[in-house]
Structure 1
Amino acid sequence: MVIRLFTLLILLGTVSVTWAQSIPAELQVDPNYSADRLVREVFATDRCETIFNVRQIGTNPDGIGYFSAPDDVVGFNRGIVISSGRVRDAVGPNRRTDTGSEISGPTPDPDLDIASRGRVHDRSGVEFDFIPLTPQVSFRYVFASEEYCEFVGGNFNDIFGFFISGPGFNGPYANGAVNAALIPGTNQAVTINNVNFRTNKQFYLDNESAEVRGSLNCGGEPTNGPRFQKIEYDGQTVILTATLKVIPCETYHIRLVVADVNDSDLDSAVFLEAGSFDLGSSVSLESKDDAEEEDAPIIAYEGCRPAVMRVVRGPDSNPDTDQTIAYRVASNSQAREGVDFSAATGIATIPAGQNFTEVPIHAFADDEAEGEEEAFILLDAPCACFTDSVRVIIREPEPITAALNDPYLYCPSEKGTLTANIQGGVPPFTYRWSIGSDAAEPTFSGTLPDEISLQVTDACGETLTSTARTEPAEPPTLHFPDQDLSACWGDELTMRYDLSGTGPFKVYYRLDGGPTRVVSIPDNQSEAWTVTRGGTYNIVRIEDQACSVDVSELARANFYKPVLDASYEDPTCSGGADGSISVNHLKTVAPYTYRIDGEPVPSANTGGFPAGSYNVKVTDALGCEDSSTVQLRAPAPLEPIDINCNQLRRLPFETSAGGGIPPYSYSVGGRQFVEDIWPTLVPGNFYNLVIRDAVGCELSQPNFYFPQAAPRAVSLPNFIPQQVGESVRIELYHRVPLNQIYSYRWEPAELFDCPTCAEPTLTAPFTQDIDLTIEDVYGCIDSLTTYVAVDGRAPLYIPTAFSPNGDGTNDYISVFANGDLVDRVMSFRIFTRWGEQVYADTDFAPNNAQRGWDGFIGGRPAHVGTYVWSVEILLYNGDVQEESGTVMLTGH
C-alpha cells in the first residue's frame, strides 16, 4: 500500500452510546431521544459526518424512541423504533390483540398517501440527508404490527416505507423516491398482505395466542407464539435488509416512516438495527504479499495468470455485514487500464463474516519490450475521511532457467535433498523430478540413478528441463594441527586446519558449550579460519556439497588483556608528595612492565606522588596492554581562622579554621593542642596560633588577635543633657577592648570638637539626634543614635514687683539677663491690664537697673496695681526670643 489514512474519532463518538451498554433481560423502550440523536448516535455509522438535516416525521415525540432487548425479541439487541402509536406500548407481554393509541390523528404524508389506499393517520418516523461513501448502503429492520393476523387480506392495512430520493432514482413517490422496504428477491413492498402466515411466510414470525390463532383460522401451532411474553405486537417479520444502490459522494434524502390507515386503532412499528445504516467504513488496498512485505506492490506479469489485489476491512468495519467499496485507476498511471491491464469492475464487496475480498489484476501480453510499467489503484470516495492506494507493477516475464550441478554429488550413506538453481520465470513454480517428486527440494536416501532430470514450469506456463549426471561422494573431514592460539584482546587469531571434501563447506561449532554456530568455507583450498573470541571451539558437524558428518574436533583460542584496576592513596596534606599508586591487573602472561606517565617504574606499587592526573599502563610478555588514568587528589589546604561579624555578635565566642580535614585542634606557640582553646585566650591580645587538622597537617597563624564578642562594641547614654550655649563631653561605655575598634564617626560632625574621637566634646544649639558609627578591626560596623537635650530656657530675669518711691531701692522695673547668652534687648514694653501701653524702650544692653519704667505716666504716678510686660531679646546665636509676664506696682 502507498497510502493508509482513516479517522476513528467519529467512530468512537458514534457507537459509544449504542454498544457500550449492557443487554437487558427484556425489551426496554425509551422515547426520550431526539430524532437527531437517534439517527446519529444509534441508527447510523457515520464516521465522516456526512449525515445532516435530521428531523422527526410527525409531531408527537412518543412515536420514536430507543430500544434494547435480548436477541430473541426482534433479532438484534439495540436500535431505534418508530411506531404509529406510543413506542412504550411495544413492551411485552402480548396482553391484547388490538393495542393502539392515537398520537397525532389524520396526518397527510407525501409518500404514504401515494402508497396507501386509505387516509393516513398517526404517521411517525425520521428523515435526513446523507452522502454515501460507497456505492451500496444497507440497513437491517423488522416490521411488527397489531393487525396480524386477523386483518391479513384486508383492504386497509397499516403501512410503512423507506423512501429514498436523489441521483439515480426516478420512482413513483415524492421527488422521484423509491421504496427500499422490499421483500427479498422481489420488487414487492413489505406489507401485512405480502408477508404473513400465508404469503411469504418464510419471512413471518407469529406472536398470537393459541386462542386467537384458532378462532381466526390463522394456522400455526396450538400454543402461544414464542415471543408472546416478550413483545406486544401480534406478528412481525424476520430480520430484513434494505439495500440502497447509490452513487458515492452524491447527496440523498431518506424518509423512514410508518402510519395507521383510516383509523388510529391498531399500532404498527418498525425496528431499525443500531449501527446498521453504514455509510462506509474504512478499507485498505493491499497486495496479497503485504503480510510478508509491508506496502508490497502488486506484481502482474504479462500474459500470465492474474495477480491479486486484496480489499481488507478497516478496524472500524462491522464484520457482520457486507461492505462494498468503489475503486479506480489513477489518471497519472503509466500503465493504461484496458490496454496494458484490467482491474475488474471498479466495485468490490467484502461478504459478511469475511475480512477481505480479492480482485484479479490481469496484465495483457503484447509484443513490445516496454520494461516495467506502473499504475496506482485508489479508493474512489473523494468525500471520505479515509483513503488508500496500492501500486501495481506490470512486468514482462523473464525466460526461465534451471541448473543442476553437473556432476550432481551426493552422499549414499545419508538422507539428502535435491536442489536446483532457478532463475527468471514467474513464480510460483511447479516441479517434476525424474525420481517421481513434485516438491521444490525433494529428499532422497540411498543411491541415485546415474542421471537425474528436473522439469520446471512457471506461472506463465513456460517449461524448462535440466539434466545432470550423479556422482557419489565421501563425507568431508576436518582436523586441527598443534598450534599456539594466543593473542591480545581485540586482535584476530588465525586457526589453521586440514580440510577435505568438495566445497563449499559449512562448519558447525560450539564455543565453550554454547549454542551451535555455523561458518562457511568456500573450498578445501582454505587452510585458516580467523576468530576473534576466546574459548574452546568444538567442531560438531561438517557439510560439503554432497555429504555431512558429525565430528568432535577441539581447539583452544586464548585472547589476553591484563585488565588494569589501579588503586591509590591520595597525598595526606595539601602540597604534599606522599601519594602512592598500586597497579592491580588480571594475570595473563608474565613478566610485566609498568609505566606511569610514560616513565618505567620498578614495581606495581610506587609512592612519592603529589596531587595530579597520572596515566598508568601495564604490558605483559605478549605485548598485550591496558591503561588507566588515576587522579590523585590532595585535601583542601588548611585555611586560617577568619573571624566574621556574625561570630562577634554571639556569646560565647566560637570560631574555627577551614580547609584540610576536620576536626581541628589549636596551640599557642606550638605547645599542647586542644580543640576548644578559646576560653584560655584573653580578648584584645595577640597570639602566635598553630592550627592542626585531623590528619596532622599544620598551619601557623602569627599575630592572631583574639577579639571580645559582644552584641555591639559600645553603648551610648539614652540622652546627653546640655545647657544652651554650653558644651558637654561625651563618655562611652566600651563593651570590647579599645584596640578592637578601628574608627569612630560622630554626626553631625560640626557639633563635635573631634568627630573621629572616642569621647569628643559636643556643643549643640538645640535638642537634636546625634549618630555614632563604629567600625572594628574586622570591618564590622555598628550604628548608634541618641540625642542631646539642650536646656532652651532664656537666662532672663524681670522683677515681679517694684515701688518707685525714690528710696533708691527697686525704683524701676528693668531687664536683667545672662550676658553670655543675651546680646541685646530689642524691645521692652509695659501695658495696663486693658492693653494701654504705658512704657516702651528699644535696643539696649540688659542689666542696667536705671533703665526701665519708673512708674510714672506722663509725669504723674501711675495707679497701684498689676501691669503686663513684654520683652524681645537677641540671643548670642542670632535667634530672637520673646518673653512676657506681669509686675506689681505697689506704691509711690
Structure 2
Amino acid sequence: MRWMLFTLLVFPLLVTAQTDSPTLELDADLTAEELVRDVFASGNCETIFNIQPIGSNPDGIGFFSGPSNIVGFDRGIILSTGDIRDAAGPNSATNISTQLQGRQDDPDLSLASTGNIFDPSGIEFDFIPLQPTVTFRYVFASEEYCEFVNDPFNDIFGFFISGPGINGPFSNGAINLALVPGTNQPVSINNVNFSRNASFYLDNESPSVRDVAGCGGNSEPGPRFATIEYDGQTVILTATINLQTCATYHIRLVVGDVQDPDLDSAVFLEAGSFDLGGSVSLEGESPDSSALIVYEGCAPTTLRVQRGEDSNPDLDQTIAYRVGSTSVAVSGDDFTAGTGQVTIPAGQNFAEISVSARADGTVEGPESLWLVLDIPCACYTDSIELVITEPEPLVVGLDEAYFCPDQNVRLQPAVTGGVPPLRYNWSFGSTETSPELTPPLPNSIRLDVTDACGQNVTRTIPTFSSAPPELTLPPQDLTACRNEPQSITLDLVGNGNIEVTYQLNNGPIETQSFAGAGRRTWPITRGGNYRIISVQDGACRTPVNEVIRADFYEPTINPRLTNPSCADTEDGRIEVTHLPTEGPYTYSWTGVSPDSLLATDLAAGTYSLRVTDGLGCFDERELELRAPDPLMGVAINCLEIRRPPLRLTAAGGRPPYEYSINGQDYWPAEDFDRLQDGAYYRLRIRDAAGCEFEQPDFFYPRASPRSARLPTFIPQEVAGSVEVVPDYLVPTDQIAAYRWHPAEYFDCASCPQPVLAAPRSQPISLAIDDIYGCTDSLVTFVAVDGRVPLYVPTAFSPNGDGKNDFVSVFANDQQVATILSFQVFSRWGQLLWEDYNFLPNITQRGWDGFLNGQRAPVSAYVWVATYELTTGERQEASGTVVLMAD
C-alpha cells in the first residue's frame, strides 16, 4: 500500500482560501461514441468506427470543461482510474482514490508494467487517416505526484496504435504514442516530474507536502491548487505518428492503477485535437468559376490548395492531386503541373501548384486540363479546369499624329490580342498606355508593345502640324411635321474624323461625329435650338458659337370628355383643344357631325377626330364616352334576409340612392323600415346623377334567421289525425314552397298547415324554401297515444227491462272500423259466448247473460275483444264484467 499520512494544519487553510476559484465541470453521462465523434475528433468525414469503452466502469470516462489555465485546454475527454468527478478542485487531499472495478488486466498496460493492473479506463476505436500525419494533444495528471516519484510501481497509461506499417511490442503489433518529447521513453510519473524532464511537469502541491516529501519547489502552493484535485500534471503534450492514408488503424487510449487501486490518475484529451486530415479546396486566380487559361510558352499559372475550416492550422497538411481522366492535354507533352503532391506548411492557409504549358509550335486550339484532389477515401473532393491554348497574336494600330501648335495631343494606340499585362515603350521615354504630349512633336514617333508571353510589335508614325478645324452652317429651313425626317447641313474643314459638341435647348452637352471634312448632313429627330459649342478633328479643337433652330409641328389633340349622366341618356360632351401650329385648321369627326372643337348631346360610344394644320401636319385621336352602369332595382339574397336588421340597396348607376313609393317623397336606404312587411309597392329609385328606375312589384320582406318554428311535439290519438300549425316568422308571400315528410302521412304535403295522420310516434320534418333561395329544415316529433277509446260495460243485468240487458262493445268509429271477435269467459277460462265481424256500438250485438237457455249465475266474467283500426292495424283488448242480480 502506497500511503502517506500528513498531519498538517496549514493544508486545510490553503484549501479554504482558494475554494472560490473556477474549477472543472465534469459529465460522466456521455457514451464512448459521443465522446469520440462529438468531442475528440475533428474533420467532416466519417472515418472513425467500432468505438468501444475500455473497462467496466462508466464513471471512469467522461467530458470535462473549464478555464484553459487548469488543464491547458478548455474542454475534452477525461480518462480516470477513479471517478472523473473527483478531478474537480480544489486539491483537498494528497490521496484521493476511488476503487472502481478492482484488479483487471489490460492487454497493453499489463505488458508495459511489472505490476498488476487495477481500474483500467479508456476508449478504443478504428479509424482511417486522410493525411499522412495524425496528431492529438493530451495532459497526464496524478495523485501519485510527487510523493511516489521513483517508486517501482506507478500508475500507467498509453496510446497504443496498430495497423499497416506498424510493428511494435504491444498487442497486435502496436506501439505507444505517449512518449516524452524528443525521446523514446513513455510519459510516466518517473519520466516526467520535478527532477526529470521537469520542463514538461507542472507542480500542484502545497509547500508543506513538498517539504515533507522532498519534492523541492518554492513556498507557494501550485497555481492550479484551487482548481484541480491532482497533485501534479504534465504540460500539454502532442502525440504524433505518420501513417498510410486511406488504411485502417486501431488505437487504444487507456489509463490504469498499478499494484493497488489507490491514488487516482487521469489523462485529459483535448477536444477536436484528434486530426485525421481536414478538407481542402482547389482555387484559381480568378474569383469566378470560369476555366483558368494557361498560355503556351508564357508565365506559369498558379493554383491554390486552400485549407478547409476543419483543418488544423498548427500542422503541416499534405495533399495529393492528379490529372483528371477527361483531360485532353497530355502531361509532359503539353504541360507540367508539379509532382502530384503539395504540403500546406503549419501556420499557413494555402500552398501553390504551378502549371506551365509548353510552346510546341503547333496551333491546336484550346485543350482542357483537369486537376483533381486525389484522396480516394475522403468524403469530399474538388477539381479545377484549366484550358491550354496558344496566345492570340499581338496587333498594334497607331494612326498618324496630327497636332495643333498650341494644343496638347494624346496618342491613343489600338491594341488587340496578346496576353496581359502589356508593356508600352514610346520613343520619347513614356511607358503610359495613352500618353499626352506638348507640341512641338518630333517628326516621327515609335511605339514598342510587349505582352506577358514575349510577343513584341513595333509601330512608327509620322507627325504633322495641323490648322484648326472649321464649321459653317449654310442657310436652311428646318421645318417639318413630327415623325418626318429632317437634317442639319454643315460645312466642315479639318483632318480625319471630326466631332461636333452641342447643346439642345440648353440641355446636357452632347456630341455628333462625322467621317471627314466636307458638306455633311446631321439627321435630327428633336426640335428646338441647337447651340454648337465646338468642332474637333484629329489634332485640334476650335470653339464655335452658332445656333440653328429646328421645328417639328403636330397639332396635338387635348380632349376633355364628359360622359353621359345615365345609361340611356344622350347628354355626353367632347370639348377639344390642340397645340397651335400653322393655320388654317380643318376638323374631321367620325361618329358625330360637327366640324368644330365641340360636340354635345352624345350617347356613350367611340368617336374620332382628326386635326390638320396649314402645313399638312395632323393628329388623330379616338375618343370614348362611357355610360355609367345601368341603374338596377333592389335585389335581395338569402344572406341579407337571414341577418336582421334588413339592409337594402339598389345597384348600378352612381350611388348613393334614394327611394320613393309615390314618386314624390324620397328617402335614404336607412328608412326602408317605414314599409310594411309582406306588402307590395311600386318602388322608384333615383341615383346621385338623377337617373331613375322603377321596380313595379317590389315585395318588402321580413328579415329573420329562419322562416318558421315547429311545436316541440305534436300529440295525436292512435288511428286519429291532427292539424299541424307551424309558427311562421315571415309573411306568407315570402315563402315559395313547403315540403312535409313523410309525405304519405299528410293530407297535403305541400301546404302550410296540413292534417297529419301518423300510424305511430316518430319524427316528422318540414322543408321551407323562401323566394330568396333560403331553405329551412325543421324537425319535430309526433307522439301517437296508443290507447284506443274502446268501451265495454263493467256490469249488466239481463232482466229484460230494456236497460243494460247486454254486455256489448262500444268505440269511436273514426278509429275502430270492425270488431273482429268478442268472447266471454268464465273465471276459470271456459269460453261461454262469442261473436265475430260486426260494427261497434250495436247494443244488442253482445252477450245477453244466458247459458243454454238459462240465466248465468251472478258472477264476474272475462271478455276479450279483437278489433281492426281504420288504419288497418289490428289490436286486442280485455277486461271483466259483472253479471248483476235483479
2:300 is the counterpart of 1:306 = yes
Aligned partners of 2:189, 2:69: CA distance in 1, in Å?
A: 21
Aligned partners of 2:356, 2:492: CA distance in 1, in Å?
A: 54
Aligned position for 1:607: 600
Aligned partners of 1:708, 1:259: CA distance in 2, in Å?
A: 97
Picking from 358, 361, 373, the partner of 1:379 is 373
Picking from 38, 41, 63, the partner of 1:66 is 63
Compare 385-394 and 92-101 and name the one that shifted more: 92-101
Aligned partners of 1:41, 1:162: CA distance in 2, in Å?
A: 20
Aligned position for 1:730: none
Tell me the secondary structure at the aligned position of residue 164 of structure 1: strand
Is the 8 Å Cα contact of residues 809 and 846 (structure 2) preserved in structure 1?
A: no
Aligned position for 2:24: 28
Aligned position for 2:364: 370
Tell me the secondary structure at the aligned position of residue 384 of structure 1: coil
Is the 8 Å Cα contact of residues 667 and 674 (structure 1) preserved in structure 2?
A: no
Once the two structures are superposed, what CA deviation does each residue of 1:613-635 show, in whole Å capped at 9, x if it has no partner?
Answer: 66788888895758576461334
2:35 is the counterpart of 1:38 = yes
Aligned partners of 1:415, 1:445: CA distance in 2, in Å?
A: 5
2:76 is the counterpart of 1:79 = yes
Is the 8 Å Cα contact of residues 214 and 222 (structure 1) preserved in structure 2?
A: no
- Give the partner amino acid of 1:60: N
Aligned position for 1:139: 136
Given the superposition, is the C-alpha separation of residues 363 and 217 from structure 1 closer, same or farther in structure 2, using an over 3 Å criterion? farther
Is the 8 Å Cα contact of residues 631 and 693 (structure 2) preserved in structure 1?
A: no
Aligned position for 1:339: 333
Aligned partners of 1:398, 1:848: CA distance in 2, in Å?
A: 135
Picking from 424, 428, 436, the partner of 1:435 is 428
Compare 740-749 and 356-365 and name the one that shifted more: 740-749
Tell me the secondary structure at the aligned position of residue 41 of structure 1: helix
Aligned partners of 2:752, 2:65: CA distance in 1, in Å?
A: 103
Tell me the secondary structure at the aligned position of residue 42 of structure 1: helix
Deviation for aligned residue 1:342: 2.5
- Give the partner amino acid of 1:28: L
Deviation for aligned residue 1:287: 1.8
- Give the partner amino acid of 2:272: G
Tell me the secondary structure at the aligned position of residue 36 of structure 1: helix
Aligned position for 1:14: none
Once the two structures are superposed, what CA deviation does each residue of 1:549-591 show, in whole Å capped at 9, x if it has no partner?
Answer: 9999888889999988866444333422223345588x58587
Tell me the secondary structure at the aligned position of residue 40 of structure 1: helix
Compare 309-318 and 503-512 and name the one that shifted more: 503-512
2:396 is the counterpart of 1:396 = no
Once the two structures are superposed, what CA deviation does each residue of 1:416-453 show, in whole Å capped at 9, x if it has no partner?
Answer: 66554444444334444433345555566565544443
Given the superposition, is the C-alpha separation of residues 753 and 600 from structure 1 closer, same or farther in structure 2, using an over 3 Å criterion? closer
Given the superposition, is the C-alpha separation of residues 706 and 46 from structure 1 closer, same or farther in structure 2, using an over 3 Å criterion? closer
Given the superposition, is the C-alpha separation of residues 55 and 360 from structure 1 closer, same or farther in structure 2, using an over 3 Å criterion? same
Compare 167-176 and 613-622 and name the one that shifted more: 613-622
Deviation for aligned residue 1:163: 3.5
Tell me the secondary structure at the aligned position of residue 295 of structure 1: coil
Tell me the secondary structure at the aligned position of residue 387 of structure 1: coil
Picking from 158, 161, 164, the partner of 2:161 is 164
Aligned position for 1:174: 171
Once the two structures are superposed, what CA deviation does each residue of 1:286-323 show, in whole Å capped at 9, x if it has no partner?
Answer: 221x22xx112232233433211122344555656554
Aligned partners of 1:69, 1:753: CA distance in 2, in Å?
A: 95
Picking from 122, 125, 133, the partner of 2:122 is 125
Once the two structures are superposed, what CA deviation does each residue of 1:106-165 show, in whole Å capped at 9, x if it has no partner?
Answer: 554444455567665554432222233444443344455667778888877665544333
Deviation for aligned residue 1:39: 1.5
Q: Which runs of structure 2 are paired with 1:137-286 in the superposition (5 Å)?
A: 137-143=134-140, 160-181=157-178, 239-259=236-256, 269-286=266-283
2:344 is the counterpart of 1:350 = yes
Aligned partners of 2:118, 2:730: CA distance in 1, in Å?
A: 115
Is the 8 Å Cα contact of residues 737 and 770 (structure 2) preserved in structure 1?
A: yes
Is the 8 Å Cα contact of residues 814 and 847 (structure 1) preserved in structure 2?
A: no
- Give the partner amino acid of 2:364: E
Is the 8 Å Cα contact of residues 533 and 559 (structure 1) preserved in structure 2?
A: yes
Aligned partners of 1:243, 1:474: CA distance in 2, in Å?
A: 83
Deviation for aligned residue 1:485: 8.0
2:51 is the counterpart of 1:57 = no
Given the superposition, is the C-alpha separation of residues 324 and 407 from structure 1 closer, same or farther in structure 2, using an over 3 Å criterion? same
- Give the partner amino acid of 2:372: L
Tell me the secondary structure at the aligned position of residue 453 of structure 1: strand
- Give the partner amino acid of 1:385: C
- Give the partner amino acid of 2:135: S
Given the superposition, is the C-alpha separation of residues 326 and 772 from structure 1 closer, same or farther in structure 2, using an over 3 Å criterion? closer
Deviation for aligned residue 1:48: 2.8
Aligned position for 1:459: 452
Given the superposition, is the C-alpha separation of residues 359 and 878 from structure 1 closer, same or farther in structure 2, using an over 3 Å criterion? closer
Q: Which runs of structure 2 are paired with 1:679-758 in the superposition (5 Å)?
A: 695-698=689-692
Once the two structures are superposed, what CA deviation does each residue of 1:237-273 show, in whole Å capped at 9, x if it has no partner?
Answer: 5555444444444333233344566666666554433
Given the superposition, is the C-alpha separation of residues 27 and 454 from structure 1 closer, same or farther in structure 2, using an over 3 Å criterion? farther
Deviation for aligned residue 1:391: 0.7
Is the 8 Å Cα contact of residues 377 and 391 (structure 1) preserved in structure 2?
A: yes
- Give the partner amino acid of 2:382: D
Deviation for aligned residue 1:359: 0.9
Aligned partners of 1:555, 1:836: CA distance in 2, in Å?
A: 145
Aligned partners of 1:94, 1:169: CA distance in 2, in Å?
A: 41
Once the two structures are superposed, what CA deviation does each residue of 1:736-768 show, in whole Å capped at 9, x if it has no partner?
Answer: 9999999999999999999999999x9x9x999
Q: Percent identity?
A: 46
Aligned partners of 1:849, 1:247: CA distance in 2, in Å?
A: 127
- Structure 1 residues without counterparts, runs of 5 or longer: 1-23, 714-718, 725-734
- Give the partner amino acid of 2:49: F
Aligned partners of 1:335, 1:113: CA distance in 2, in Å?
A: 59
Tell me the secondary structure at the aligned position of residue 247 of structure 2: coil
Aligned partners of 1:502, 1:56: CA distance in 2, in Å?
A: 93
Is the 8 Å Cα contact of residues 648 and 672 (structure 2) preserved in structure 1?
A: no
Aligned partners of 1:268, 1:848: CA distance in 2, in Å?
A: 122
Deviation for aligned residue 1:44: 1.4
Is the 8 Å Cα contact of residues 553 and 617 (structure 2) preserved in structure 1?
A: no
Aligned position for 1:579: 572
Is the 8 Å Cα contact of residues 632 and 650 (structure 2) preserved in structure 1?
A: yes
Given the superposition, is the C-alpha separation of residues 505 and 673 from structure 1 closer, same or farther in structure 2, using an over 3 Å criterion? same
Aligned partners of 1:447, 1:868: CA distance in 2, in Å?
A: 162
Is the 8 Å Cα contact of residues 159 and 253 (structure 2) preserved in structure 1?
A: yes
Is the 8 Å Cα contact of residues 707 and 768 (structure 2) preserved in structure 1?
A: no
- Give the partner amino acid of 2:602: F
Given the superposition, is the C-alpha separation of residues 752 and 864 from structure 1 closer, same or farther in structure 2, using an over 3 Å criterion? same
> How many residue pairs get matched?
845
TM-score (norm 2): 0.67
TM-score (norm 1): 0.67
